[in-house]
Chains A and B, each alone.
Chain A
Amino acid sequence: MIKVDMTRRNVLALAGAAGAGYLMGSSAGRAASANTLVFIGWSHTEAGSKPFLEQTFEKYRSENKDIKLDTVGVPFAQMETTLLLRKRSNQQTDVGQLQERWLSPFVAAGGMFDVDEIFGKEFIDRTYHPSALAMTKVNGKRYALPWVTGSTGLVAHAKVLQDAGVKEMPKTIDAFVDALRAVKKAKPSSSPMGFSTKNPSLTQLETQLFLWTFGGTFFKDTEVVVDSDANRQALALLADLVKEGLILPGNDRFDIRRLYAQEQVAFYPDPPLARAFARAQSGQGEAYDKNVVPVAMPVLKAGDAPVSIQWGHLLGFFNYGGAKPTPDGATGRFVNLVSQPETQIAYYKETGVFPATNAAISSLKDDAYLTKWIDLSSTARPDELSSFSNANELRTVIGEEVAAAMLGQKTPADALKSMSDRLKSIGPKK
């Protein structure tokens, strides 16, 4: 039998030693973090972009043996919350992937570096395309670097339309509805238009395309203007599409991408990475590209400009428990790698997301998918909520009320009235 004689003094000494050991260990951990780069994002968890991004991370590791690159993958829907929780717990986060519309709330939360101060205004202006840089500004300062760019517009399925006898892409809303009806007739199980009714955040974003087409908006600066005739018409159209079975409810964009690859969707809103998902989920790879056609959002009457929403992935630099980034340090080297023309071009070729750098864009000027999409993006507008620091709360309200109208729980007029009241009571905050 083992006998241990422990006095209270022994116990206290042991506890003291353990505490000192813990403190020494954690300070050693902090010192080590100078040579560790923590990247957090969602694209490297998704089927379409995972292989390429993992190769890129491996390249970084092999070129920078003195730096430990930790990559943290988070599902898209959890990304914002995870980043905020890392901020609150001061967990080291050096570089983070951001959707362009999330930048304003993160800047408002604090802890983001001004990229002009770190990488230099001249380098940034010289390297990145001005349209991409426009997405990185909040209150006159640039808080992120563009990684990939594009717009959220309409993607058509060439084969589904061809099978339904639709010979040309619809230009007006009337022609668009006719095309949807033709698809439904040819394939009764299909959802001719793919629209997110399950995820309030995506519902808000996609509804915007229809509201703008009819001349409506959610806000005029910070004034709530949702209860308008234009918006009532747009929402009535969406509700009618559900009633007619032209939009099948209960899906979000991730479901719709799968249905699109199974030839059950003729049109749906998506950014350029639609092609990557179609390749991965059809199981046919690049052979499926011929079906993925970017089209202009139909207009109310001939001559109107088709609408689309600015879209991009940004790289934000966070002061969450790490070291201040420098152009030639771990973070700077990461930026250099992902902004190199060959990396950007390869990323585009693998997934279809557009490069954000001048050099890469100019070397791809003969690519039909890219030039077509860039042409369609010429009238792209920023998401209306992206400038508000409480965008999430507003988005949930809009998404819920739109879904209520589309699922027949409220009339479009009632849903807009209720949306207006709720948005006014919350109040958009800059």
Chain B
Amino acid sequence: MRKANSLEAAQNRFGFSLTIPALLAFLVLIFGPFLRSAWLAFHEYLLTSTEPRFIGFANFIKLLSDPGFLLSWQVTAVFVVMTTVVTTIFGTAYALLLNEPMRGRSVIRAASLLPWVLPSTVTALLWSWIYNGQYGIINAALLTFGLTEQPIFFLSDNVGAMMSVTTAKVWLSTPVVMLFVLAALQSLPQEQVEAARIDGANDFHVIRYIVLPHIKKTLGVIMVLQAMGNLQMFDIIYAMTSGGPVRATTVFSIEVYRRAFENWDLGTASAVGIIWFLTIAFVAIPYLRSLFKDAD
């Protein structure tokens, strides 16, 4: 018995020693900067200052009483909810379509991944031109078909700008969702579908009562992962609108960048980072808990 215990302990020690490189990388590259950031959030510290000055919760109080910051919370929520929901719907619908037998299905599946493999800045530029007020293809079409008399400056309008960045992100992420759902659909027992068809089920019934329950778990994981990723989205928004017009697309990541690198206020930027982290944690913790529960 004692021998078995010591063997188990040795195995545990060996297992732990294997995680040391990853743990070290985590401590140095993630946890250390996070602690530093948390510490800075309680200090007044400009990029031009020599030393940080402790000011307690002043940065948080300043942020929570700033209507601009509260707006960026709202903007982040709108962006995350819209992109996550729309991408999931489009990705699922697309996967169902590509799951059907058709000629050239493999080529279409491969080509559908193109938006995902393009660099995100290329995607951002592409969509900026599509929405451009003077030269954009959307305006050209609207003007040609007489649907508008004046060009619409999508990127200079609050709703238009949010719609533009959301579209770009949805276009970029739909292939990933499609891929996950398509993989989940491969394990769908065809006998169930055939039995349902014999019982008179139409396409809607099959999707509603057989397909969706089968891929429910996958969809849950995809939505949580997407929400976490969208909460961290920076490049597409910065390249398309820089957070504007005014603050209409200033999500948390842009807010941190502006405060740190445009206003040079590292203390307040760190405080935004902490609030941002707590917001992500709010989404991530239930997901991680369910993941660990499944593992147990």
Contacts and interface: CB of A to CB of B under 8 A. Distances in A.
B47 interface: yes
Contacts of B245: 197-198, 249-250, 403, 407, 409
Given A249-B133, A407-B157, A409-B158, A396 B247 contact: no
Contact of A409 (B48, B246, B261, B264): B246
A392 interface: yes
A81 interface: yes
Given A84-B264, A250-B155, A392-B262, A109 B48 contact: yes
B263 interface: yes
Contact of B153 (A249, A390, A392, A404): A249
Given A108-B48, A109-B48, A409-B158, A403 B134 contact: no
A390 B265 CA distance: 10
B156 A197 contact: yes
A145 interface: no
Contact of B48 (A198, A389, A404): A389
Chain B at the A interface: SS class: loop
A392 B156 contact: no
A66 to B, nearest CB: 35
Given A264-B134, A389-B48, A396-B263, A248 B246 contact: no
A248 B258 contact: no
A84 B48 contact: yes
Interface string B150-170: 110101111000000000000
Nearest to A402: B246
Interface in B249-296: 258, 261-265
Given A248-B134, A392-B262, A407-B156, A110 B50 contact: yes
B244 interface: yes
A264 B50 CA distance: 47
A167 interface: no
Contacts of A404: 246
Interface in A384-401: 389-390, 392-393, 396, 400
B99 interface: no
A72 B248 CA distance: 34
Contacts of B265: 393
Most buried by A among B151, B153, B245, B247: B245
Nearest to A198: B244
Nearest to A410: B246
B134 A392 contact: no
A319 to B, nearest CB: 14
A110 B48 CA distance: 8
A404 to B, nearest CB: 5
A403 B244 contact: yes
Contact of A392 (B133, B150, B247, B263): B263
A245 interface: yes
A8 interface: no
B155 to A, nearest CB: 5
Q: What band does the interface of chain A fall in when counting residues whose beta carbon is under 8 Å from B?
A: 20 to 34
A201 to B, nearest CB: 8
B242 interface: yes
A403 B150 CA distance: 21
A105 interface: yes
Contacts of A197: 156, 245
A3 interface: no
A88 interface: yes
A55 to B, nearest CB: 31
Contacts of B247: 400
Interface string B132-153: 0110000000000000001101
Contacts of B150: 245
Interface in B4-31: none
B262 A403 contact: no
A249 B156 contact: yes
Contacts of B48: 84, 105, 108-110, 389
A90 interface: no
Contacts of B68: 400
Interface in A68-94: 81, 84-85, 88
A179 B244 CA distance: 30
Nearest to B248: A409
Contacts of B155: 250
B261 A81 contact: yes
A250 B153 contact: yes
A362 interface: no
A43 to B, nearest CB: 21
A189 interface: yes
Most buried by A among B156, B247, B261: B156
20 contacts: A81-B261, A85-B47, A109-B47, A110-B48, A189-B134, A191-B134, A197-B245, A249-B153, A249-B245, A250-B155, A390-B46, A392-B263, A393-B263, A396-B258, A396-B263, A400-B247, A403-B245, A407-B156, A407-B245, A409-B246
Top 9 nearest A-B pairs (CB, nearest first) are: A109-B48, A249-B156, A250-B156, A393-B263, A81-B261, A404-B246, A84-B47, A250-B153, A250-B155
Given A81-B264, A198-B156, 8 more contacts: A81-B261, A88-B47, A189-B134, A198-B244, A199-B242, A392-B264, A393-B265, A409-B158
